[in-house]
Structure 1
Amino acid sequence: MVKGKVKAGKVDCQAYAQTCQTADIRAYPTVKFYPYQGTKKNVFGEYIDSRDAKGIADLLNEKLEAIQNKGKRKKSRNKDEL
């Protein structure tokens, strides 16, 4: 449902306990969203409170739309300031 829009991955928290500990993952399964913010990295991400594939896809699409709209507002503000 979000193929081509987001990159997804999974981590085996038994094999990579330090990675999961750093990301504040305490229960399995856990779904988190890490928005691309240029060079700024958010190691905690945003917890997605859903186990349903459609629910997760809907939340991701909403977050992507908000990010895209935020970028459009910044561009139009810059034009107004010139």
Structure 2
Amino acid sequence: MIKGKVKAGKVDCQAYAQICQEAGIRAYPTVKFYQYDGTKRNIWEEQINTRDAKTIAASIYRKLEILQSQGKRNKDEL
């Protein structure tokens, strides 16, 4: 459904506790959306508070549509 549009990853919080602590992960599973801004690290995330795959995908699509419309608007303003 969102294949090719976003990159996804997972972290083993038992093996990498510091990474999970820095990301503010306190419960499992946790889904967070990080906007790519051209840098390797983006501290601004949006937590997706659901465990339903269709709802997660719909949330990501809505966020991508907003980002795409903002990008088009910014290009038009230049």
TM-score scaled by length of structure 2: 0.93
Confirm or deny that 1:31 pairs with 2:31.
yes
Q: Please provide the CA RMSD for this pair.
A: 1.3
Larger Rg: 1
Provide structure 2 residue ranges, at least 5 long, that are not aligned to the other structure. Answer: none
CA contact (8 A) 2:34 2:45 kept: yes
Q: Which runs of 4+ in 1 moved over 6 A?
A: none
What per-residue deviation string (whole Å, max 9, x for no partner) do you get for residues 22-80 of structure 1?
000000000000010122733352100110000000000000111110010011111xx
- Distance in 1 (alpha carbons) for counterparts of 2:66 and 2:41: 18
User: Number of aligned pairs?
Assistant: 78
Percent of counterpart pairs with the same letter?
65
Amino acid of the residue matched to residue 56 of structure 1?
A: I
TM-score scaled by length of structure 1: 0.88
